């Protein structure tokens, strides 16, 4: 092959707990994959979370956000841990996570729930229901009832204390999340289910109207609509009916957790948070991270499952850089490694081979190398 033709700068945010262990493995996987696919990565590691608090006194240093903004994509490990749980209110490691999402303006959160054939036993569902499940939940992340105003507490005319929140969506917010979802569905099976509560809520009525209008830009994607109560039921009754789901902030919060439990393996699940760059075809920076936390109970013991972070790196390639061949190489290497029977503790079952984080990483590297 000729030398590398493409170059991307990647900001690595290892964070806390098992974060540095899984990021180190994912970095090696990206590097090797790049060298085989004609891609050169320029990695920059920056402090964030509890480790940044210890180092410079804030969970998201300005230099870290600036580096992230200037890169093509950001890969994050995990943040937090009981060491910092009694910190002052504004100095929690997790604050850094909200700040970086806001700083990168990532309004679309993508969470796949894939039941791999090798791990079907881990699912909370019966084998015949779980086998072959591959759902992508696209959640709106920066609007809706979590941010809408007015909100607060007051005393009503009877002297009763009242708490209130407001579900607000502007047309432009719905349009942009809808476009990300249609683009996502297009890269998958081409079926998009929009989940709302349009029989009751005005914000949902507008949601359904706008999603339906945007669908005209994507004639190759098949759109359906479902009420959220029905969707919650259908996800556990027959999850295979879904390809891509798009929904608002609060419904997506709940449905993405429900969908992830169908797979039963927290150490396996990646995520992506995307902004407008995916729509304008300009490069990054999306934010890619495993859905699991910093797991302080197993940190520093070489026990962490690095596959969620490795699969997050594959999402970075696919959704952040549109390097789909390189993404597929990593996904296939993960499947190949599982086929060889290697398991970290969180996905171990009798008859498989228990390995640590590093050994799992080395096995994935060998598989990346042997993919054609």
Q: What residues are labeled active site? A: 146, 197, 229, 253, 257
Q: Residue 64 binds what, of ligand ATP, Mg ion, none (CB under 5 to 8 Å, by partner type)?
A: none
Q: Residue 112 binds what, of ligand ATP, Mg ion, none (CB under 5 to 8 Å, by partner type)?
A: none
Stretch touching ligand ATP by CB under 6 A, among 169-177, 221-229, 246-254, 293-301? 293-301
Report yes or no: 11 and 288 within 8 Å, Cβ to Cβ.
no
122 binds ligand ATP (CB under 6 A): no
Q: In angstroms, give the least distance from the CB of 310 to Mg ion.
A: 20
305 binds ligand ATP (CB under 6 A): yes
Residue of the chain from 308, 313, 364, 368 that contacts ligand ATP (CB under 6 A): 308
Judged by beta carbon, residue 181 or residue 269, the one nearer ligand ATP is 269
Residue 111, C-beta contacts closer than 8 angstroms, at least 6 positions apart: 136, 137, 139, 256, 259, 260, 269, 271, 291
Q: Residue 308 binds what, of ligand ATP, Mg ion, none (CB under 5 to 8 Å, by partner type)?
A: ligand ATP
Residue 164: burial class (beta carbons within 10 Å; 0-12, 13-18, 19+): exposed
Judged by beta carbon, residue 190 or residue 293, the one nearer Mg ion is 293
Residue of the chain from 100, 141, 180, 295 that contacts ligand ATP (CB under 6 A): 295
What is the helix (H) or strand (E) element at residue 229, kind and residue range? helix 228-237
CA geometry: angle at 189 spanning 185 and 278, to 5°? 25
Indicate the Cα dihedral angle 222, 120, 229, 209, nearest 10°: -20
Judged by beta carbon, residue 205 or residue 335, the one nearer ligand ATP is 335
Q: Residue 266 binds what, of Mg ion, ligand ATP, none (CB under 5 to 8 Å, by partner type)?
A: ligand ATP
Q: How far apart, in whole angstroms, are the C-alpha atoms of residue 186 and residue 184?
A: 5
346 binds ligand ATP (CB under 6 A): yes
Count of CA atoms in the C-beta half-sphere (13 A) of 128? 0
Q: How far apart, in whole angstroms, are the C-alpha atoms of residue 367 and residue 32?
A: 11
Q: In angstroms, give the least distance from the CB of 268 to ligand ATP.
A: 8
Task: Name the residues that contact Mg ion, by CB under 5 A.
Answer: 293
292 binds ligand ATP (CB under 6 A): yes
Q: How far apart, in whole angstroms, are the C-alpha atoms of residue 155 and residue 163?
A: 9
Report yes or no: 347 and 267 within 8 Å, Cβ to Cβ.
yes
Residue of the chain from 114, 294, 312, 367 that contacts ligand ATP (CB under 6 A): 294
Determine how many CB atoms are found less than 10 A away from the CB of residue 126: 9
Residue 189: burial class (beta carbons within 10 Å; 0-12, 13-18, 19+): middle
Judged by beta carbon, residue 144 or residue 290, the one nearer Mg ion is 290
197 binds ligand ATP (CB under 6 A): no
Q: In angstroms, give the least distance from the CB of 344 to Mg ion.
A: 18
Stretch touching ligand ATP by CB under 6 A, among 47-55, 136-144, 185-193, 290-298? 290-298
Q: Residue 247 binds what, of Mg ion, ligand ATP, none (CB under 5 to 8 Å, by partner type)?
A: none
Max Cα separation, the chain?
77
Residue of the chain from 61, 267, 286, 361 that contacts ligand ATP (CB under 6 A): 267
Q: Which residue has the tokens 């039941």?
A: 115
Hey, which bits of the chain come out as E strands?
6-15, 39-45, 73-78, 108-114, 134-140, 152-155, 161-164, 191-196, 222-227, 244-247, 270-274, 286-290, 342-343, 353-354
Interface with ligand ATP (CB under 6 A): 18, 80, 266-267, 292-295, 297-298, 304-305, 308, 344, 346
């Amino acid at each position: 092959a000729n030398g590398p033709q493409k170059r991307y700068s990647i900001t690595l945010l290892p964070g806390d707990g098992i974060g540095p262990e899984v990021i180190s493995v994912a970095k090696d996987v990206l590097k090797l994959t790049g060298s085989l696919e004609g891609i050169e990565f320029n990695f920059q590691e920056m402090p964030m979370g509890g480790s940044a608090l210890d180092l410079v006194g804030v969970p998201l240093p300005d230099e870290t956000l600036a580096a992230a903004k200037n890169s093509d994509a950001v890969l994050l490990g995990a943040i937090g841990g009981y060491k910092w749980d009694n910190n002052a209110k504004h100095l929690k490691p997790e604050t850094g996570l909200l700040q970086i999402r806001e700083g990168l303006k990532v309004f679309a959160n993508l969470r796949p729930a894939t039941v791999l054939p090798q791990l079907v036993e881990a699912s909370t569902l019966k084998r015949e229901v779980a086998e072959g499940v591959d759902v992508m939940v696209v959640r709106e992340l920066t609007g809706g009832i979590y941010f809408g105003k007015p909100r607060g507490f007051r005393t009503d005319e009877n002297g009763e204390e009242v708490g209130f929140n407001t579900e607000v969506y502007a047309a432009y917010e719905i349009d942009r999340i809808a476009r990300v979802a249609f683009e996502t569905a297009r890269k998958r099976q081409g079926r998009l289910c929009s989940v709302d509560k349009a029989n009751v809520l005005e914000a949902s009525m507008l949601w359904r109207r706008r999603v339906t209008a945007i669908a005209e830009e994507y004639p190759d994607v098949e759109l359906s609509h479902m009420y959220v109560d029905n969707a919650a039921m259908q996800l556990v009754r027959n999850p295979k009916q879904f390809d891509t789901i798009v929904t608002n902030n609060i419904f997506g919060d709940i449905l993405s957790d429900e969908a992830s439990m169908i797979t039963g393996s927290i150490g396996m699940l990646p995520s992506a948070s995307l902004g407008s760059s995916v729509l304008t075809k300009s490069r990054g920076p999306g934010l890619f991270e495993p859905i699991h936390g910093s797991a302080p109970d197993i940190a520093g013991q070489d026990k962490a499952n690095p596959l969620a972070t490795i699969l997050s790196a594959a999402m970075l390639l696919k959704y952040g850089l549109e390097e789909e061949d390189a993404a597929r190489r990593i996904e296939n290497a993960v499947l190949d490694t599982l086929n060889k029977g290697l398991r970290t503790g969180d996905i171990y079952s009798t008859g498989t081979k228990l390995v640590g984080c590093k050994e799992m990483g080395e096995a994935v590297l060998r598989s990346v190398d042997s993919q054609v």
